[in-house]
Amino acid sequence: MAQKFLTISAGGLLAEATETGVTSVTGTAPVVSSGGAAPVISMAAAAAGVAGYVSTAAQTFDGVKTFTNGVSLGNENLTVYDEGTWTPGFATWATAPSVIFATYTRIGRQVTVALYSSGGICTAGSTITGLPFTSNANSASSAWGGGSNNSPISGSVIQSSSTITNLPLLSYTGVYWQITAVYFV
């Protein structure tokens, strides 16, 4: 039994068609076809200055350039994009929490870390160590979050540090909690 297909008639109506196989393939510039039932299809390289042009030194597509060391978006260069996990430390805590996961995303100089944990008892001024990158020497930033018991948690990432500091006295026994920090390297 031959397969049946739907086509659109010259009047714009759906019509049933029976498969007859490929009889000819054509191309419209910049696509070129040798024609016939088994065509060779090709596209010539675009010239510099044409939208979609790709060079060998820097790959450019409609104004976005990618280099081996990053991406250029107009006046801004993105030289680093990285994401992964990190291992937090809780040496100053009365009882260390159980880490569910700790992730980070780095875009250029900006790093966002997120820590999801359960349990733990944090003494006043405790720290979370092991941030994946050391913060820069010129700025500090905040860390914030909360627990499943609606209690807030906050701290800070100080200059030249890989630690969230100044955490408040909190007991998260039986509680899931998270903390997030955004800082610059």
Model pTM score: 0.60
Same domain? For 168 and 127 the reply is: yes
Same domain? For 95 and 72 the reply is: no
pLDDT at 80: 81
Cβ proximity of 145 and 152 under 8 Å: yes
**Interstrand relation of 76-78 and 81-85 (parallel, antiparallel or unpaired):** unpaired
What is the C-alpha R_g of the chain? 29
Instruction: Report how many domains make up the chain.
Output: 2
| Residue 39 forms part of a structural domain | no
Structure tokens at 74: 């107009």
Pinpoint the alpha helices (H) of 14-110.
none
CA dihedral (47, 48, 52, 58) in degrees, to 10, reads: 130
pLDDT digits (tens), the chain, 185 positions: 555 666 666 676 766 666 666 667 777 777 777 777 677 777 776 666 655 555 555 454 445 555 555 555 555 666 788 999 999 999 899 999 999 999 999 998 999 999 999 999 999 999 999 999 999 999 889 999 999 999 899 999 999 999 999 999 989 999 999 999 999 99
DSSP helix/strand/coil, 93: coil
Same domain? For 167 and 128 the reply is: yes
d(CA 88, CA 103): 10
Domain span holding position 61: 47-79
d(CA 133, CA 77): 20
Q: Which domain CATH number covers 180?
A: 2.60.40
